[in-house]
Amino acid sequence: MKIAIVCYPTFGGSGVVATELGLALSRRGHEVHFVTYKQPVRLETISSHIRFHEVNVPEYPLFHYQPYELALSSKLVNVVKNYGIELLHVHYAIPHAYAGYMAKKMLEEEGISIPMVTTLHGTDITLVGNHPFYKPAVTFSINNSDLVTSVSDSLKEDTLKFFDIRKEIEVIPNFIDVSKFEKKAFTDCQRELMAHDDEKIITHVSNFRKVKRVEDVVKIFFEVQKNLKARLMMVGEGPERVVAEKLVRDLKIQDRVLFLGQSNEIDKILCFSDLFLLPSETESFGLAALEAMVQSVPVISSNTGGLPEVNVNGFSGYLHDVGDVTGMSRSAISILENQDKLMKFKKQAREAAEKFDINNIVPMYEELYQKALINA
Ligand code: GMT
């Protein structure tokens, strides 16, 4: 198949999923064309089955906002015509589904019919898309996609609750390439660079937005380090980083907390981590938790959104109500203070992650594409 994928090229989960999906599809013999404003961060290899098409939006002083949707839909029309693309797969409804629909309509004028699959990722529904400023356009573009998927049951429920949707939504969960993370020896992880042998390493990875509740991460860690020797790795960049840094300073734990910024070495950091914290306000799936689990890192998370579909309470970690810092701290300590329990949870975290192996999930997308092509 010849597929065009539209996504955000940044560190966010939706872009990561779209890129990994495209790479996996190309390895399975499909020709995949990424159409976005920058080369996606995880798109390292340009192979004969992968192409990247940059959407350019020239600055013009008349425009207060540059018309990205227009440039994207025009680019899609050209890519479809030039490369004989058979299917569009857009990740994140805003504005990709809207631009994809416009491209479809323009192509129809030229006698080209192309199906569009839209994958909903989370904030396009729960935070941004739900805003009255965007809601009519988001509803319209979901209803006018040929097929719609969501990354969890919870996100599907939210979409049906918040929007007037006439389309069937199929749940295809996010995935991970389990084989990339074969069990390593403890010593492979260069843990000694980060902590002493008797210290536990706790990690948080996010875009440091309000929804991630990074202050809770610091508060949980503060409680933990009163009970056992530990270090906190804060990975990522975003507006709440300064807030977390201030709290660390106020609590006088600067010597135990490391802010690593945006990193291309998340895999290395997770390799030597003992516990992952994700106390988010909401999370449609929690790809960051899955990335930790596959590296045998148990997760303490909130129990909202799609997180209970990924992190299994009492097995791969523990889940608590949003904001329950006391409960999360207690659970973190209970795992970290008992080496046997920690080892058991590490093994179980990996086991729970295996359900989301790329080889189980990518065929679901291929089947969906076939369905879209038959119905087109
Ligand atoms: O919130 C983020 O971390 C970024 C956001 C995005 O759009 O990239 O992530 C959303 O999509 C991810 C991939 O499907 C999910 O794993 C995240 O849970 C989801 N974020 C939220 O729902 C807050």
Mean pLDDT of 279-291: 97
Ligand 1 center–CA 288 separation, angstroms: 9
pLDDT in tens, 218-231: 999 999 999 999 99
The H helix count followed by the E strand count for the chain is 14, 13
Which of 123, 207, 217, when mutated, tests ligand 1's pocket best, judged by the most ligand atoms within 8 Å of its CB? 123
Q: Which residue has the higher pLDDT, 172 or 181?
A: 172
Ligand 1 centroid to residue 283 C-alpha, Å: 6
**Residues forming a β-bridge with 54:** 36
Cα gap 234→71, rounded to integer Å:
37
186: confidence class by pLDDT, cuts 50, 70, 90: low
* Candidate from 154, 162, 284 with most ligand 1 atoms within 8 A of CB, to mutate: 284
DSSP one-letter string for 155-206 = HHHHHHHHS---S-EEE----B-GGGGPPPPGGGG-GGGTS-TT-EEEEEES
Least confident range of 125-129, 198-202, 236-240, 242-246 = 125-129
Is 79 in contact with 60 (CB distance < 8 Å)?
no
**Mean of pLDDT values over 72-91:** 98
Rounded to an integer, the average pLDDT of 341-345 is 97
Atom of ligand 1 at shortest distance to CA of 124? 7
Shortest-distance atom of ligand 1 to CA 211: 23
pLDDT digits (tens, 9 = 90+) for 256-282: 999 999 988 899 999 999 999 999 999
Atom of ligand 1 nearest to the CA of 281: 23
Band (pLDDT 50/70/90 cuts) for residue 185 is low
CB-defined site of ligand 1, < 6 Å: 12-14, 17, 92, 121-123, 126, 151, 174, 206-207, 211, 282-287
**Percent of the chain scored above 90 by pLDDT?**
83
**What ipTM describes this predicted complex?**
0.96
CA dist 372 → 18, 88, 105, 375 (Å): 18, 10, 16, 5
Cis before 95? omega within 30:
yes
Dump pLDDT digits (tens) for 16-33. Answer: 999 999 999 999 999 999
- For residue 287, report the distance from its CA to the centre of ligand 1, in Å: 7
Q: Please report the pLDDT score of residue 264 as a whole number.
A: 84
Q: How far is the CA of 150 from the centre of ligand 1 (A)?
A: 11
Q: How far is the CA of 69 from the centre of ligand 1 (A)?
A: 21
pLDDT of residue 157: 96
Asked if 279 and 190 count as a contact pair (C-beta separation under 8 A), the reply is: no
Q: Considering only CA atoms, which of 277, 284, 291, 286 is closest in space to residue 325?
A: 277
Whether the pLDDT of residue 321 is over 60: the answer is: yes
> How high is the pLDDT of residue 188?
66
Task: Name the CATH code of domain 2-175+357-375 (choices 3.30.1330.60, 3.30.70.1230, 3.40.50.2000, 3.40.50.2300).
Answer: 3.40.50.2000
What's the gap in Å between 359 CA and the centre of ligand 1? 22
Cα–ligand 1 centroid distance for 252 (angstroms): 32
Q: pLDDT value at position 317?
A: 98
Task: List every span in the chain annotated with CATH 3.40.50.2000.
Answer: 2-175+357-375, 178-354
Whether the per-residue pLDDT at 101 is higher than 80: the answer is: yes
Q: How far apart are the first and last CA of the chain?
A: 14
Ligand 1 nearest-atom number relative to CA 10: 8
pLDDT of residue 195: 87
State yes or no: pLDDT of 129 exceeds 80.
no
For residue 258, the one-letter residue type is: L
pLDDT at 160 over 70: yes
User: Is 3.60.15.10 the CATH classification of the domain at 178-354?
Assistant: no
- pLDDT category, 48, cuts 50, 70, 90? confident
pLDDT of 51 higher than 90: yes
Q: How far is the CA of 365 from the centre of ligand 1 (A)?
A: 19
Q: What is the pLDDT of residues 328-338, one digit of tens each?
A: 999 999 999 99
Pocket-testing residue among 159, 285, 293, ligand 1, by greatest number of atoms within 8 A of Cβ: 285
305 CA closest ligand 1 atom index: 22
pLDDT value at residue 187: 55
